[in-house]
Amino acid sequence: MPTLALLGDVMLGRGVAAALRHLRPQQMWGDVLPHLLDADLRIANLECALTRHARPWTRSWKPYHFRAAPAAVRFLQAARIDACTLANNHVLDFGAPGLRDTLAALDAAGIRHAGAGRDLEAASAPAFVDLPGAGRVALIACTDNQPDFAATAHAPGTHYLPAIPDAATLAHVARTIEQARAAGADWVVFSNHRGANFVERPEPDARRFARRVIELGADVYHGHSAHLCQGIEIHRGRPILYDTGDFIDDYAVDPVLRNDRSCLFKVRFADGRLQRIELIPVTLRLARVALAHGEDFDAIAERMTRLCAEFGTPLVRGVHALHWEASA
């Protein structure tokens, strides 16, 4: 498998939607764009609805509702995003009509999606991307956020799954991965929007769950939701990215935790083995992402080196990035 680029939350609504009216699609990605384009596969968590439907979700109280016009999909196309995870707590912010519009916009743009759909079968189904020379990649997406967004056998919604290592949950994960393999997947990426906001470390149950996902056959665990990058663990030769943070947003910045400091994560396999993980530090501004420099780079490097070391994953600092390399 060539290089896989994994992004955290991409939120195109609210203040971002207003800013995008004055930007060309490539401008949103700034000098990070070449690092995205030189990957072979790009996956992002789309943290909003793409819809003009104006009536927000009303079945339960929500403080924030995020949407962008369907035409905003061209900003995803500019970075050649191949697939989006939709299992999160904002994809139904404008109800079933907003979800249907989102699915239609992504389909029209040729962007695969997983984690939400017209019913539970569709929401839990993997998305497939074929990579010439590297095989078929399956993306499975689920969330433990917003249980009232959950799809049912007869209603649209998300692939809701508590991220706990109990027997029923793990049996569901095993079936989903087995179905992906049976459909021809050579590689399985398990993407999970889970946990509380603004925490630097996954809780013990989350660690046990992620390890079991790898043991059940996933090749990559791609976490997001905390708005902060968390550490990386290598389990049975496979990467667990506990949280990939934010990537595009208009969020208020915590002055201590600095959710405006994040990373682009790039994972490379060779001959079936995990070869390299590269972390490219980035800084976030309204509707823009940029390569981190100076104090920002130093702070991100220090935090990620420390958090990864807690999982026994040593990072080597370079001029523009951090990396982990498999031993020979």
What average pLDDT does this structure show over 78-85?
98
CATH number of the domain encompassing residue 253: 3.60.21.10
Range of the domain at 114: 3-325
Contact 83, 127 (CB under 8 A): yes
Report pTM: 0.97
Average pLDDT, the chain: 97
Task: Say how far residue 277 (Cα) sits from the centre of its chain.
Answer: 16
Contact 9, 138 (CB under 8 A): no
**For 167-200, what is each residue's pLDDT tens digit?**
999 999 999 999 999 999 999 999 999 999 999 9
**For 290-328, what is each residue's pLDDT tens digit?**
999 999 999 999 999 999 999 999 999 999 999 999 985
Q: 22 pLDDT exceeds 90?
A: yes
Work out the percent of the chain whose per-residue pLDDT is above 70.
99
- Is residue 1 very low, low, confident or very high in pLDDT (cuts 50, 70, 90)? low
Beta-bridge mates of residue 172: none
28: enclosing H helix or E strand: helix 25-29
Give the Cα separation of 34 and 3 in Å (integer): 13
pLDDT of 328? 58
Number of domains in the chain: 1
DSSP 31: G
- Segment 265-268 long-range contacts (CB within 8 Å, at least 24 positions apart): 265/5, 265/6, 265/7, 265/241, 266/3, 266/4, 266/5, 266/6, 266/35, 266/39, 267/3, 267/4, 267/6, 267/220, 267/239, 267/241, 268/1, 268/2, 268/3, 268/4
